[in-house]
Amino acid sequence: MSLAPVEPAPLAAALIRCPSVTPADAGAIGTLATALRPYGFDCHELVMSTPGTDDIANLYARWGRGGRHFAFAGHTDVVPAGDRAAWSVDPFGGVTRDGWLMGRGAADMKGAIAAFAAAATRFIAARGASFDGSISLLVTGDEEGVSINGTAKLMEWLETRGERIDACIVGEPTNERTLGDMVKIGRRGSLNATLTVHGTAGHVGYPHLADNPIHRLVAMLAGLTATPLDERTDHFEPSSLQVSTVDVGNPATNVIPATARAVFNIRFNDRWTGAKLEALLRERLAKHGGRWDLAVKVSGEAFLTPPAALAELIADAAAAVTGARPVFSTTGGTSDARFIRRFCPVAEFGLVGLTMHKVDEAVPVADIERLAEIYLGVLERFFAVAA
């Protein structure tokens, strides 16, 4: 008797029962690999390491060795549950209540990972020996953390093996209100900057003997925020600079401090690269003179998968299941799609994100099943196209 395909809701519940708060794996990667191996997936459980960081468990599971290759990508790590007393259920219990699967990671994104597995095994069962393509799952345990030993390294590992991917879906909870309302076709870039302004400490009663760095810092921030960085583009909102903290560390009311510091983030659209944006910042700040330092880290560049073949294919599959066609969007934060984009076309589509990272995170069990059907429809449409 042939093996029945994976049922998505029970697998999602089993994954939730693994308390895989970044960087802990807590058995999540092994649970997924165990579910896939009986169906013929070649599963590589890979622990990635970098000095000074936590080791991270990752999984590359592939069915097939040739033909066109479609990949599903996601993460089993989750954010902390927070105050457990605020939850109405055990956040790592994988409880189903009134038709909802509850627990940390239900929406972001263990439900989608289970739907990946269900769709892949259903497709393989239906095609049988006639299927000569490849399907893979790329799953990391380091998306909610520093993202050093996760998808980025997994893609490098694939490259060293000569593995080629033709298209990829990342199962982030992209939908805003109802399943099938949004496909992410790109993401804004993210630049974090620390601006430190140096002055000369002194007594507030003798300001001519001091140099107050706070005054210059305030002027510099005002200059950065007063002028918009750009206007919206065809698929992106205007770039946005937001100051997240200003710190002086001065408990005294009668002392001018020696330094003042501010941290800000810029979510930038496809008009910019991180390098061009940093150059603009330094140009604007230099106009204020004085001594200052700017430390910049770009965690991801803006990218766009034009709304063509892959996005339309996902939209068609979603509309066939839900009856409504999703919109294409680039809103939100960053995702691991930023590491995949240089290897193949990538888009994001998963469950509804209303409860992600919240107390009593939950998704309808019916949505997990419908998502599996949408992913199945994506595979059917993808592999119906001639190579």
Residues 22-34 pLDDT 10s: 999 999 999 999 9
pLDDT, position 129: 80
pLDDT, position 131: 92
Q: Are 69 and 166 in contact (CB under 8 A)?
A: yes
Please check the confidence at residue 156 and state whether its pLDDT lies above 80.
Answer: yes
pLDDT, position 387: 45
Please check the confidence at residue 132 and state whether its pLDDT lies above 80.
Answer: yes
pLDDT, position 2: 76
Q: Which CATH code for domain 8-187+302-384?
A: 3.40.630.10
Burial class of residue 27 (count of CB atoms within 10 Å of its CB; 0-12, 13-18, 19+): middle
Q: Are 94 and 174 in contact (CB under 8 A)?
A: no
In one-letter notation, the amino acid at residue 354 is L
Q: What is the pLDDT of residues 161-183, one digit of tens each?
A: 999 999 999 999 999 999 999 99
> How many other CB atoms are found less than 10 A from the CB of residue 34?
12
- Residue 315 — pLDDT band, cuts 50, 70, 90? very high
Rounded to an integer, what distance in angstroms lies between the CA atom of residue 17 and that of residue 360? Answer: 14
Q: What is the pLDDT of residues 257-296, one digit of tens each?
A: 999 999 999 999 999 999 999 999 999 999 999 999 999 9
For CA atoms 151, 267, 23, 135, give the dihedral sign.
Answer: negative
For the chain, give the percent of residues with pLDDT over 90: 94
- Residue 4 — pLDDT band, cuts 50, 70, 90? very high
pLDDT, position 29: 98
Q: Which is the catalytic residue, given 25, 108, 142, 143?
A: 143
Rounded to an integer, what distance in angstroms lies between the CA atom of residue 354 and that of residue 177? Answer: 7
Q: Verify whether residue 176 is a known catalytic residue.
A: no
- Residue 1 — pLDDT band, cuts 50, 70, 90? very low
pLDDT average, residue stretch 364-369: 98
Q: Are 141 and 56 in contact (CB under 8 A)?
A: yes
SS3 of 384, please?
Answer: helix
pLDDT average, residue stretch 349-362: 97
Q: What is the pLDDT of residues 60-95, one digit of tens each?
A: 999 999 999 999 999 999 999 999 999 999 999 999
Cα torsion 236, 239, 244, 245 to 10°: value is 170
> How many other CB atoms are found less than 10 A from the CB of residue 316?
15
Question: What region does 335 belong to: left with phi over 0, alpha with psi -120 to 50, or beta?
Answer: beta
Average pLDDT of the chain to the nearest whole number: 95
Please check the confidence at residue 386 and state whether its pLDDT lies above 70.
Answer: no
What is the domain partition of the chain in residue ranges?
8-187+302-384, 189-300
pLDDT, position 263: 98
Residue 149 tokens read as: 């030993």
Rounded to an integer, what distance in angstroms lies between the CA atom of residue 385 and that of residue 93? Answer: 42
Residue 301 Cα distances to 242, 307, 339, 340, angstroms: 17, 19, 10, 12
Residue 159 tokens read as: 């490259």
Residue 226 parent element (H or E): helix 213-226
DSSP 3: P
Give 173-195 as a DSSP string: --BSSSTTSEEE-EE-EEEEEEE
Angle 111-127/365-384 helices, nearest 10 degrees?
40
pLDDT, position 326: 97
Rounded to an integer, what distance in angstroms lies between the CA atom of residue 60 and that of residue 72? Answer: 10
Rounded to an integer, what distance in angstroms lies between the CA atom of residue 116 and that of residue 247? Answer: 45
Residue 194 Cα distances to 33, 217, 262, 283, 293, angstroms: 41, 12, 6, 16, 8
Q: Which is the catalytic residue, given 25, 77, 367, 373?
A: 77
Q: Do domains 8-187+302-384 and 189-300 have the same CATH topology?
A: no
Q: Verify whether residue 367 is a known catalytic residue.
A: no
Residue with tokens 């989608």: 112
Fold type of domain 189-300: Alpha-Beta Plaits (3.30.70)
